[in-house]
Amino acid sequence: MSRVAIVTGGTRGIGRAICERLRDERGFTIIANYAGNDEAARRFTEETGIATARFDVGDHDAVVGACKAIEAEHGAIDVVVNNAGITRDGTLLKMSYEDWDAVMRTNLGGCFNTAKATFAGMKERGWGRIVNIGSINGQAGQYGQVNYAAAKSGIHGFTKALAQEGARFGITVNAIAPGYIDTDMVAAVPEPVLEKIVAKIPVGRLGKAGEIARGVSFLCSEHAEFVTGSTMSINGGQHMY
């Protein structure tokens, strides 16, 4: 029987690449979550044949309800990839509380919500994989992103703490910190700013969504059972530590 995996924000960008790789390489049954872009979700299912579930990862009750419904329809959730993320950039003095809150709720709160909804079941079955998508900007900070950098940095702390809680129960919890990846999120960065960013990447180009997906697939595999609490940096050498 194939394991059931949910990938939040799975219908576009990095999430989509993760869904396809986990299905093709691991043979998982994938449920791709999304927030509200029904047209992108419809196209995603049409092109991949993968099922979707619309809910806001920042809404605790919605996540718990959706996970119950997914388990009733597809079976127990053994794998969670917390990939949904948003940006609401601005320097501190220009950032509203709403922009702070939206990013914390979605990017960091989403990880708590999905883990709360699925961790007990993984513990009971003695096997689980949780992979949280952090960011280079959570490791190094970034001008104009106090909300995003704080949420992503929080993901790295959340990962290390939960890894300790899961370790004895066959549950691994890891993070991936992508550098700049060629997706809609990065397409929103103004061209002159992007040129400066690429100039700082030793490999000399943006990353590809598939390169993040390969890392996720490894961390979700049976071979990665001794890897937990780690952060895999996939950033073309932009940030090394």
CB-based burial, 180-194: b 16+ in 10 Å, e otherwise: bbebeeeeeeeeeee
Alpha-carbon span 197 to 59, nearest angstrom:
33
Does 197 engage in binding with ligand NDP (CB under 6 A)? no
Alpha-carbon span 8 to 32, nearest angstrom:
6
Q: What is the per-residue binding string for ligand NDP in 159-188, x denoting contact by CB under 6 A?
A: -------------------x-xx-xxxx--
**At closest approach, how far in Å is the CB of 199 from ligand NDP?**
16
Token pair of 189 as six digits: 């960065």
Q: Please answer whether residues 220 and 2 qualify as being in contact, where contact means their C-beta atoms are separated by less than 8 angstroms.
A: no
Select the span of 79-87, 88-96, 117-125, 216-224 touching ligand NDP (CB under 6 A): 79-87
**At closest approach, how far in Å is the CB of 126 from ligand NDP?**
29
Does 154 engage in binding with ligand NDP (CB under 6 A)? no
* 74: DSSP letter: H
Alpha-carbon span 40 to 130, nearest angstrom:
25
Does 145 engage in binding with ligand NDP (CB under 6 A)? no
According to CB under 6 A, which one of 52, 83, 118, 238 is a site residue for ligand NDP? 83
148 is catalytic: yes
Is residue 236 left, alpha or beta, with left meaning phi > 0 and alpha meaning psi from -120 to 50?
A: left
According to CB under 6 A, which one of 3, 5, 6, 9 is a site residue for ligand NDP? 9
Number of residues that bind ligand NDP (CB under 6 A): 30
Alpha-carbon span 115 to 8, nearest angstrom:
12
Q: Return residues touching ligand NDP (CB under 6 A).
A: 8-9, 11-15, 33-37, 40, 56-58, 83-86, 106, 133, 135, 178, 180-181, 183-186
Residues tagged active-site: 148
